[in-house]
């Protein structure tokens, strides 16, 4: 799938300017050498914990209004592409609704149309945390994209996920659904997979449920679409969002490294996800 990657280029240029003005605050981390947990990547947070992760109770909505120096591109009248203020890599962007929509509500056809529009230009690892219990830090609807070039591995568990689709490895011992994505799939196919996974995992459906019945994470790339039903957000001091199920773990203040060394990352994910 050939892409122009114009949105990614715009995000990098906007990021350069926002970093210079102080609007962008990249998270400083260091990679901890593997200690038997490959292929997972464990990084230690060196920066101060961002305010949006420290705050307890009601939080101000950072997207109403959004920070204009972080705006990458408007997508019609309903969505826009925005730089993540606390990026984990250069070009880390959010796809948000311009008007408030709840993160805990169902993703709708308009959301998937906006995803497809961005995805046709710039691909990579998409992820979505459905609510605070699934690792969402903001209640305003937003999907996230970590851009990738061509057939570059999307995440540390990309190879294992592709192997599962090919009939090798797995299944994992928690509640999840994994489906292949075919080249050129657009909004309708994405929405159909989303709703099929929701039904299979007991999350419900928009026609009968005003909001999903359980917390969940989404991750998808050019090759696969993964939905995980969640049980809890914190395990052994680790905050686990969708990126955990992609193979990225973050060691922050309060995280129990000794627990991870003893039990391993697979036990961490199994404790965070609902039982299969």
- What count of other Cβ atoms lies within 10 Å of the Cβ of residue 237? 14
Structure tokens at 13: 């240029």
Strand order of the sheet with strand 79-83? 71-75, 79-83, 93-97, 142-147, 124-129, 216-220, 224-229, 176-180
pLDDT value, residue 170: 80
**Residue that wins the pLDDT comparison between 256 and 184:** 256
pLDDT value, residue 159: 96
Integer angstrom CA distances of residue 257 from 157, 193, 262, 270, 274: 21, 36, 9, 17, 23
**What is the widest separation between alpha-carbon atoms in the chain?**
50
- What count of other Cβ atoms lies within 10 Å of the Cβ of residue 203? 22
The beta-strand segments (E) located in 46-120 are 71-75, 79-83, 93-97
Rg (CA), the chain: 18
DSSP state string for 142-171: EEEEEE--TT---STTHHHHHHHHTT-S--
Q: What is the pTM of this model?
A: 0.95
pLDDT tens for each residue of 20-79? 999 999 999 999 999 999 999 999 999 876 655 555 555 689 999 999 999 999 999 999
Domain ranges of the chain: 6-48+73-272
Structure tokens at 202: 């007991």
Helix (H) or strand (E) holding 180: strand 176-180
Cβ–Cβ under 8 Å, residues 91 and 15: yes
pLDDT tens for each residue of 152-208? 999 999 999 999 999 998 899 999 999 999 988 999 999 999 999 999 999 999 999
- With CA atoms as reference, report the closest residue to 250 among 55, 44, 108: 44
At the topology level of CATH, where does 6-48+73-272 sit?
HIT family, subunit A (3.30.428)
pLDDT value, residue 276: 87
Cα 265 to Cα 248: distance, rounded to the nearest angstrom? 10
pLDDT value, residue 94: 98
Distance of CA 204 to the CA centre of its chain: 21
- With CA atoms as reference, report the closest residue to 274 among 211, 215, 234: 215
């Amino acid at each position: 799938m050939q892409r122009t990657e114009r949105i990614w280029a715009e995000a990098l240029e906007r990021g350069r300017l926002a970093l210079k003005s102080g609007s962008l605050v990249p998270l400083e981390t260091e990679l901890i050498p593997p200690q038997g947990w490959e292929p997972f990547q464990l990084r230690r947070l060196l920066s101060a914990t961002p305010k949006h992760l420290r705050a307890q109770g009601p939080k101000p909505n950072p997207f109403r209004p959004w920070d204009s120096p972080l705006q990458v591109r408007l997508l019609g009248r309903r969505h826009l592409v925005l730089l993540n203020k606390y990026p984990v890599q250069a070009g880390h962007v959010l796809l948000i609704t311009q008007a408030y929509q709840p993160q805990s509500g169902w993703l709708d056809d308009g959301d998937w149309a906006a995803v497809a529009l961005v995805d046709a230009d710039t691909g990579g690892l998409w992820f979505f945390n459905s609510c605070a219990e699934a690792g969402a830090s903001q209640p305003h609807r937003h999907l996230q994209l970590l851009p990738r070039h061509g057939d570059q591995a999307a995440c540390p568990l990309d190879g294992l996920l592709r192997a599962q689709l090919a009939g090798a490895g797995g299944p994992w011992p928690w509640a999840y659904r994994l489906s292949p994505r075919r080249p050129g799939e657009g909004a309708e196919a994405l929405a159909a997979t989303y709703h099929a996974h929701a039904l299979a995992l007991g999350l419900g459906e928009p026609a009968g449920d005003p909001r999903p019945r359980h917390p969940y994470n989404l991750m998808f790339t050019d090759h696969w679409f993964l939905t995980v039903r969640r049980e809890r957000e914190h395990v052994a001091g680790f905050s686990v969002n969708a990126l955990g199920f992609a193979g990225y773990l973050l060691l922050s203040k309060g995280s129990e490294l000794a627990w991870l060394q003893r039990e391993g990352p697979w036990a961490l994910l199994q404790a965070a996800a609902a039982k299969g």
